[in-house]
Structure 1
Amino acid sequence: MGDMSSPKHDLALRMAELARSIAPPIGVDAVLHDVSKTAKELIPGVDEAGILLVGRNNTHETLGPTSSLMNQLDELQMKYHEGPCLEAALDEVVIRTDDFRDEPRFPNYAPEVVKLGVLSALSFKLYTADRTAGALNLFGFQPNLWDSEAETIGMVLAAHAAAAILASREGEQLQSALSTRDRIGQAKGIIMERFKIDDVRAFGMLRQLSQDTNTKLIEVAQRVIDTRGDQ
């Protein structure tokens, strides 16, 4: 039997301990559902909650909705290009509607939500980035519901939601960058082995192929990887 106290064995044990102790990160969807649920629990009168993200070209996502009604409310805003969520996401920090039956700011949207039984709304800007804007949106089936304390709690929850979304997006960008780097490195290794050249010349070949074919470097790298078994 091998020496169980060897440095390699100690390292393997330590890595196993770390793997068990590092909890899997909670996903952004779970965080946003938790934000919506917490809004309902902490703010009296909140019947529906969710997050609206607005992208370019009139695209949108409804995240963490408490029910399918939130999706309907967001779709109506995108249809009419008006509403508290859109206004908060794109312009204002907090938008409050005490009674949609008397809401001149949203002449098309307001009557539609009244038909759905919704009478009040409170929306908080999350952030505005290059390609997206977002808002945390709270709706109530009764009018004149919320005071300054409700707005304060809403702003705290909105900040929490914004942090989760931005961290998620940064993580996606990081994963993309790492994947790109790894694929270029893999393609470079294949070229080095195939043509018996060093890594500088291999990268030069990749870059030249990219320029000659007017193709992104990562796409050229992927083609090299795909032809790895070919001679």
Structure 2
Amino acid sequence: MIDKLVHAAVDTIPGVEGGGISRTEQGTVRSSHATAGDFHELDELQSRLEEGPCITAADDPPPSGIVLAQDLAGDDAHRWPRFAPAAVERGFRSIMSVGLSVAGTRRSALNLYAGAPGVFDASAQLTAGLFGLQAAMLLHGADHAARLGHALETRDLIGQAKGILMERFTVDDDEAFRLLVTSSQDTNMKLVDVARWLTKEANARAGASSGPASQTV
């Protein structure tokens, strides 16, 4: 869906030649959903140089949430002195980065690139902002689904581990959980990692005890 949204933004806004999503986490920018390799490279270049519109949109966004570079070969060149000439050399004079508000530590931007200067008028900025809102909602949904999936996996592993301990030591649910917590503290392992190890160990035991079926002749 996000791929389709980025392509729709590129197709809808006049003069835009391509775009992508950049996500900033722990000081590193990751490029995704780029409409072509050139735009992925430009997003990654901003990460390596630690400057550019998408970095500004993530680290120091204006109130509008939109960072606009109308001419990287002109008035905007001084804002990103290393990135601007590199982008111009690759044939891009205008960039618009729309900051995306996404829950969690990730900071993101929808980046749109144009070869000509002065492409992004007020209408283009409004349209890009609307696409950015939709992208933020999709990214938030993806992040939420990932967190939910991890939480469900953790719950299932801990539930399986408690069941193993309850059967093995004839204890109730609360005591089984206490044993897991104690093991986690004693081994300095995360609770879910202890549960994962115990589950794998029990499955390995079950497999070994069943063994190959004996054949009679």
Same fold by TM-score greater than 0.5: yes
Task: Tell me if structure 2 keeps the 8 A contact 1:43–1:153.
Answer: yes
2:145 to 155, 166, 171: 171
The aligned residue for residue 24 of structure 1 is none
TM-score, normalization by structure 1:
0.82
Question: What is the rounded CA distance, in whole Å, between the counterparts of 1:80 and 1:74 in structure 2?
Answer: 10
Q: 1:183 aligns with which of 144, 147, 157?
A: 157
Q: Which 5+ residue runs of structure 2 have no aligned equivalent? A: 210-217
1:53 corresponds in structure 2 to: 23
The question of 1:97 aligning with 2:69 is answered yes
Q: CA RMSD in A?
A: 1.6
Matched-pair contact (CA < 8 Å) for 1:89–1:127: no
**Identity across the alignment (%):** 36
- Residue by residue over 1:74-115, the C-alpha shift from the partner in whole angstroms, topping out at 9 and shown as x without a partner, is 122112211111111221211111111112211111111111
2:9 matches 1:39: yes
- C-alpha displacement of 1:177: 0.9
Asked if structure 1 preserves the Cα contact closer than 8 Å seen for 2:103 and 2:140, the reply is: no
Matched letter for residue 185 of structure 2:
Q
Supply the AA of the counterpart residue of 2:128. Answer: G
On the 8 A contact 1:32/1:63 being kept in 2, the answer is: no
One-letter amino acid matched to 1:48: G
Q: Which has the higher mean CA deviation after the structures are superposed, 177-186 or 215-224?
A: 215-224
Where structure 1 has 5 or more consecutive residues not aligned to the other structure, the ranges are: 1-30
For residue 71 of structure 1, what is the amino acid of its counterpart? H
Q: Check whether the contact 1:100–1:110 (CA below 8 A) recurs between aligned residues.
A: yes
Residue 135 (structure 2) pairs with residue 161 (structure 1): yes
- Tell me if structure 1 keeps the 8 A contact 2:102–2:140: no
Residues 161-199 of structure 1: CA deviation (Å, up to 9, x unaligned): 111111111111111111111111101111111122222
Segments of 4+ in structure 1 off by > 4 A?
none
| Structure 2 equivalent of residue 75 of structure 1 | 44
Instruction: State how many pairs are aligned.
Output: 200
The residue correspondences of 1:8-27 to structure 2 (distance < 5 A) are: none
Q: How far apart, CA to CA, are the structure 2 residues paired with 1:218 and 1:128?
A: 27
